[in-house]
Amino acid sequence: MHSKDQISHDAYQQTADWLLSQTKLRPQVAIICGSGLGMLADALKCQEVFPYSDIPGFPQSTVHGHAGRLVFGELKGKTCVCMQGRFHMYEGHSLCKTTFPVRVFKLLGVETVIVTNAAGSLADSFHAGDIMIIKDHVNFPGLSGLSPLSGANDDKFGPRFPPMSSVYDRELRRLVLDIAKQMGVAHFLHEGVYAMVGGPNFETVAEARLLHRLGVDAVGMSTAPEVLVASHCGLRVFGLSLITNKVVKSYDDSQSVKHDSVLEVAALRSHTLLQLISELVSRMDENNNTHT
Ligand code: HPA
């Protein structure tokens, strides 16, 4: 990373202070809405909405299906902040920019981050419309040296060499599995490994086969950088992938994935996803201090 891309602690603080001066709401939970999943923010009650273009220091979202608003409000009696529209590496943002909101959330007092994304499946048993609880990730940009944590470490946020072996909170994963069983949707819920690729292109057949052999269950173009930064600064993390398509793994398969069909599947499952996340938010503090 170029040092000119690095963001000073003051810059995060200034954005957080501005938001704190604009709203009395003090969120405990942040929800990052993936492609086509912006309706999660629409479910918040007593909303206070800030278009990204109005927030000092905030990056701007450029993707169709991503609204570009920060929505504060109540979900099941808990104060939340939702990113309706996230930032991707393929938009040309530096990784510091794509993860900028996460550190702002930390400074707002958020304790838990829920990330959602649209993803293609490699696992043979997954189908379009299934939901995957993210158990772990493979961060391909990170493995090749592209990390939002590159450059001088900001010790006020976290350590130079953060561990990543238990990032996705075990208790929250268990809780969502329980909730899914109670809701009768466990038959299309899985746990699995998410891989982030840079995009914006979808995968070649050879890449899909490689990911499959590596044990990746679902692939997408986001999430890992935000999770990395959230975990670095001590936030509790939970992640869901909505499987919008099966990744083509055969040269004989004439299907190809399109962004519009990703949005269509997202719309189809939006209600279930919202119910799962609402219940999670409602019950996440049942057994307090379950950080693992
Ligand atoms: N590949 C990468 N990203 C995606 C896909 C995919 O097949 N589907 C939705 N996001």
pLDDT digits (tens, 9 = 90+) for 69-97: 999 999 999 999 999 999 999 999 999 99
* Domain locations along the chain: 26-142+172-243+254-284
Note the pLDDT of residue 262.
79
Average pLDDT over residues 203-231: 98
Q: What is the dihedral of CA 204, 164, 110, 6, to 10 degrees?
A: -70
| Tokens of residue 287, six digits | 């057994």
Neighbours of 206 (CB within 10 A): 10
DSSP string, 177-196: HHHHHHHT-GGGEEEEEEEE
CA dist., res. 37 & res. 35, Å (int): 5
Distance 155 CA to ligand 1 centre (A): 34
Q: What is the pLDDT of residues 144-177, one digit of tens each?
A: 999 999 999 999 999 999 999 999 999 999 999 9
Its sign, for the CA torsion 15, 29, 233, 117, is negative
Note the pLDDT of residue 61.
78
Q: 240, 133 in Cβ contact below 8 A?
A: yes
Does the pTM of the predicted model rise above 0.85? yes
Average pLDDT over residues 108-116: 98
* Residue 66 scores a pLDDT above 70: no
CATH of region 26-142+172-243+254-284: 3.40.50.1580
Distance 114 CA to ligand 1 centre (A): 19
- Look over the chain and give the mean of its residue pLDDT values, rounded to a whole number: 93
Distance 234 CA to ligand 1 centre (A): 28
CA dist., res. 25 & res. 257, Å (int): 40
Q: Residues near ligand 1 with C-beta < 6 Å?
A: 118-120, 202-203, 219-221, 244-245, 247, 257, 262
Annotate 62-94 with b (16+ C-beta within 10 A) or e (fewer): ebebbbbbbbbbbbbebbbbbbbbbbbbbbebb
Question: Higher-confidence residue: 255 or 156?
Answer: 156
Residue among 231, 204, 208, 203 nearest 137 (CA): 231
Whether the ω angle into residue 200 lies within 30 degrees of 0, i.e. cis, is yes
- Name which residue sits closest to atom 10 of ligand 1, judged by CA: 119
- Name which residue sits closest to atom 7 of ligand 1, judged by CA: 120
